[in-house]
Homo-oligomer: A and B are copies of this chain.
Amino acid sequence: MDIREIEAAIEGILFASGEPVPVERLAEVLGQDRQVIVDVAARLADTYASNRRGIRLIKLENSFQLCSSPELADVIRCALDARKPPQLSQTALEVLAIIAYFQPTTKAYVEQMRGIDSSYTVNSLLEKGLIEPCGKLKVPGRPTLYRTTKSFLRSFGLSSLKELPSLPDTGKSEGQLEIQNAINALMEKEEAEKPREVT
């Protein structure tokens, strides 16, 4: 992978994400050194700024993010005023739905259900303040448990988790029931062993 290719890949990933992406994530996915990513990103940021392009690359702690150029704020607001609020991506909705319906739950559980690594999305939901950690599960590895936040309820027009739409029978109810029972059993066991850290 030459510099130009790395630059294009960083540009593409940051573009599609729209949100800050950690340097480590970029380095990992592109199979490059952390320092290489930082250097190439700095070069890209320079190109945008010195050519006075419509896009800027900004650094936030250990992450990079693409955003529109601040000088264009007025014209952009004018062009997009009447538009819909941003939608959560399908990926984000899936992860959020699993956490909302099965909370408190772990990242491993989300990944099991989706069959795909979901660290990035879980972190992005944490950053948006739609989910929050609420203790650790007392099993080897002590994975973090997550639950939805008040901000989540507000964003989805819910006054309580009880108002989540109930799921219709999907024909796989036996399997779902099994999971739910297994979760309950696990929680009870845990509850019995020691009082929960977070109420």
Interface residues of A (CB under 8 A from B): 4, 7-19, 21, 25-26, 29-30, 52-55, 66-69, 72, 75-76, 78-83, 86, 89, 91, 116-121
Chain multiplicity (copies): 2
Compute how far the CA of A82 lies from the CA of B21 in the bound complex, rounded to whole angstroms.
12
For A72, give its contact among B13, B66, B120 (CB under 8 Å). Answer: B13
Selected A-B contacts with CB under 8 Å, 5 pairs: A8-B54, A15-B67, A21-B79, A25-B79, A80-B121
CA distance A117 to B82 in the complex (A): 9
Q: Across the interface, do A118 and B81 meet the contact criterion of CB distance under 8 Å?
A: yes
Contact (Cβ within 8 A) B11 A53: yes
Complex partner residue of A11 from B10, B17, B30, B55, CB under 8 angstroms = B55
Residues of B within 8 A of A19 (CB): 83
Taking a contact as CB atoms under 8 Å apart, the answer to whether A15 and B83 are in contact is no
Most buried by B among A7, A15, A17, A21: A15
Q: Which residues of B are found within 8 Å of A12, using beta-carbon distances?
A: 54-55, 68-69, 72, 75-76
- Is A79's CB under 8 angstroms from B15's CB? no
Question: Least Cβ distance of A43 to chain B in Å?
Answer: 13
